[in-house]
Structure formats: C-alpha cells, structure tokens
Structure 1
C-alpha cells in the first residue's frame, strides 16, 4: 500500500504541475481546492447525517474501489473465511504488481518533462476581460441599475478570480462559525437549525469575500475610483457582486437539502432568504468598516499562492476588523437561531403558540433585522466614500 500510494501521489502531483505550467486557471483552482476542498465534503456529510439521508449507497461505492481490496488482503488469513474475499485480495496484489513499476516509469517521464522540456511559466491572455461590455447581469436586470454598478461588481469578480484575497479571507468566517457556532447548533439537535447554520455560514463567507477590504483591493486605482463614480454606485456594486454569488449557492445547497430533510418548502425558502440577506448584510458591514481605514495604513505584502503583492493592514488591526464584521453579521441571525432552538419553540407551544409559527416568525424577524443593518451600514459606507482622503 505504501509503495502504491507513493507512486500514485508522485505521478499525480507531477501531472498537476505539468498542466499548471500550461494553464494558469488550473493552478488557481488547484490552490482553492487545497484550501477549501474539504469544506463541502464535511458540510455535506453532516447535513446528510442530520437529515437522516441514507449513506449506504455511497458506502457501497467505496467498497468496490481497489483501496478496499487491501482490507480483504489483510483479512485473508483470518479464521472466519467470510471476512475476506480471496478474489479481491488477489486483485490487491495485482494492483501493486502493475501500478508500482508503471507509475514509477511515468513519474520519471513526467519529471523530465516538467524540469527539462516545459517553459518556466504559463502563457496566454485568455484571462483578460472587458469591464464595460454588456454581460449576463444586464440581460437579466436590465437598465434598473447604472452601468457603473455593474462595472464595480464585475471588477470585484475579476479581482477575486485573479488574486482571491477576499475568498481566502472568508476562511475567518468558516473558522468563526466552526469553532463558536457549530457546537451550539449541534447541542440543539435540530435539522432546521443545522440547515440555518449552513445558510448563515455561506452568507457570511460570501459577504466577507466580496465586501471586505475595499480600499486594499482598489489601492492602486483609488484616485480614479474616487473621482469617477459615486459612493452609492460603489457600495451597490459590491453588494450586487455578493448577492449574485450567494443566490445560486442557496439554490444549489440549501433548497435541495431542505427538501430532502422534509423541513418544508416554506421554512426552506425562508432559510434560503435568510442566507441571502446575511450575505448582503455582511458585505455592507464589511464595506463600511473597510472604508474607515486610512490609505496610509496599508502596506504591500506577498500574497498566498501568487507572485503578486497586495496592500493590506499589518498587525492585529485587520483581524479585529474581521471580528467586528462577523459579530455584526451573526447578530442579525440571533432571532432565527433562538426561534429554531427546540427548548424555545417547545416551551412556547405549551402556551398555545404553534411551533411552525415560532420558527417562521423568527426567520422573518431576522430578515427585517438584516435589512435594517444593511441599510444602515450602506449609508455609513456611502458617507465614508464621499469623505475619503487619499493624501
């Protein structure tokens, strides 16, 4: 197993390296997979377990892969002959006998190709995009928003696509919710609360990804930005970038799990709306907090996975600001979590208040509270944009 794992790992890693030398985007998605690839697997497993979805078909698939054959090989000499399959045990031996020499040879070929034949960097200009051309957003939304709002949203998406500083910063939201939020939700033991937790986590990460550090991402072009668009257009563009990202995530993650878990279409819809509202609310708070940082407070530092230097606040101050954003974002969701806690709605049901009414009412209160916070934070951000000084 060790020999097979070594050659498989070495060969696959060199193949990825070879492809990354030819395509910049592959290297980008590889880095994101390394950082965030485990999160959907963990969330999906927890949701399937809490929503009582059977994992037997999935486990049966894993029983058939060659890795499971080594278990049969280990059990072949056991007293109970039914524990190990002789056919699959011989298959494990055959896998090692064929895989190790073949992949060892391919590893040598790939290594020589990477270090002797390929250029030292990828080439191509397919990553260039126009920020002014009409895109999908205009076809759906139309002329309801100024062109500058669409341009700001597209610019932020393009920035994150090239240097995903906001996307990687969303790891703070995942850490915060994983360490502090998940234990509380797990104690509640409610599938509805768990689904709400996932929706809120997605909203927080989207808000941080597209609303955080507006001055740092625009540092090099801040003079042009301040003199070419209004504060309302800038803030609305970042909120639009967040909303357009979080809406499909709710539709693809929250709605299917809500239906599978028999939570009900009404509550599932409200939970998805809460996730969207939290995302936009968090983005508005992040923009307001970020516009309160003076330009001279930024300094260039190397960024993860790239050769690009980004501008950010040094020291502990940036972490404190992220903490402020997350606290305000979570504050908006307190009514929803309280109303979906079993001790609360069970106690209220004893005095004649329906359980469904308590749950859905708490979600509606959260939507209103998130809307108020969003409006207030956006107004503060617009004022700070208008008064921002670059000297």
Structure 2
C-alpha cells in the first residue's frame, strides 16, 4: 500500500503519530516499563545460581540503572516543556547508549557482533519481554539528528511491516482514534535547510512557489509543494536536508520547512489527558480488512464474497487478496471480485472475536 504525504488520511495519521511519539505520557510509559525490567533483571542476577547456564550478566546492571537515571532526569525537564532533553547532549537523547548496550549484550550466548542470532532460553525470554515493553517503534525520531539528514523522509516507513516486525519479536502498532483532526495549513513560519529552528514542533518539507508581477517581483505565495514526510524538529537545531524520494538515486536535497504544529505542551506544568495515544483494539469487535488494503495481522482470514466461504492465510503488511466467484458453468474459470475479509485466527496468538451461535455461551 502506498502512503503519500499528499493524501489527507496519511497526513492526519503522521501528524498524530509524531505528536504521540513526542508526548510526555509515552516517554513516562517507557520509563516505567524500564523500571520494572530493571527490578526483574536485578532479582534474576541475585537469585539465579552462578552455575546456571542461563545466568544473566551482572555487568549490564550498570547500564540498566544509568538508563533509568537518564529517564528520571529527562522526564523532570520534559514535564515542564523543556524539550532540549532530545537535543544531542540531552538526557533522553543520551539514553540510546546504555539502552543499546543492554540490548546488544543482553544474553551473550545468543548474540554475535552485538546482534541477536538465536532465540533466548525461556526464562531469559521472560525477562527480555519486560525489556521490550520499553520499546516504541519510532521514538528515536524525536531526537536531534546526528547529521544534517532528516529523521524520516518517506511516510511509508512509519506504516511498513519492517517498522514493527523484527526477527525475534514484534512491536505493537498504534491504534488510531476514530476521528483525527485535520492538518493545519500554516505558512506563518517557514525556514530553509541550514537555518536555526525557532521552535519545537512538527514541520513539513517542501517548496514555496510565488505569484509574480511582471514575472519579476514576487507579490504573494501561491502554494507549498510537499517533498517528503513531516518531521519533529527541535528548537535550536538546524533545519535538515531530506532524501529526495522522487529520485532514482539516493541523494539529500535542500528544502524549505514550514511549521504546521508548534509544540507548547507542558510549558504550564500541566500534563493533559493523553490516553488517546494508547488505545487498544476492542476484543469484542471483528477485525476486518478489504481487498487491496495492507493486512493488519498475520493469520487465517475468511470471507463470504463470491457466494461461499473462502479462506486465506495472509502475512501482516501483504495486500489482501480478492475472492473467487465461481461460474454456474463449471468449465468457465472463476473471476476475482473485491471482498471484505474477517480475521479468524492470529498467528501471534492474539484474541479474535468470533460470533457464537444462538444458545452457546
């Protein structure tokens, strides 16, 4: 499925996702999950016998509690609107070092060159599951970039299967509210690549075109043409380059950035209700998907399109198929028709709503 930044639904979703990833509530959840993991890891180090082949490395505790300290310091600043914590030397930016060290050396027998290559033993995996609750796909996109390149160029990456599905684990996808607010069409603050970013917020890359008098004197802005995905930019940083997604070769280009949403949250010391960022799928609701849409969950799907029940095993991210409609004359080949598919069984073990027959519990 193609996600274009000229599509209104995509624009609304990307704006909401970046607000979510930069919210105090999401980073507080990350911190709380890490604290639970820290307690469990320390308890395992203290109670599992040293002779146990599955024993965890006690040296990791140094990095685990270093990360927890950075979380606590960073959140104290963030809850009053100080978003410099994501700048290069900020506490929440500096988290990447201890967190990555813990991930890379979590259980050495299953790692090679800092990467996990084997599944963890069961009791080690139980501790690892607590660590994974700290991970939210895309949280690093609010950090200040280590170079002059934008954190995100192509919006499709935020929705791609690879963004959430890893070799040994999956990260939960965000559940969008039923109604998302429109993207503001602002042109009050426009800067160029290399300029100092004047305020924290979500910015759109592109180009301004002008109306000219006598083809020489600019007399007004005509339109702003998008050139890539929204990015969260931090005050005091430099407006970045962005990858030219329309080019056949990978190259970074200079653009203009316009502010579409200024982040002034928490400056008054108040944390608003941000529960909409953590919606969960209703277990009592059927999960459906139409032909041509990206499959939201790997599993077994069914449809009654075509006059009879049909089944399909579909992987997450793959385009949902059409259904077969068989002809009355058996010698004529079946034709393919659009269908609405219902999820019967999820491969990840998640619950699926199945209607009960009358009289059943």
More helix by share: 1
Q: TM-score by structure 2 length?
A: 0.22
More strand by share: 2
Q: TM-score by structure 1 length?
A: 0.21
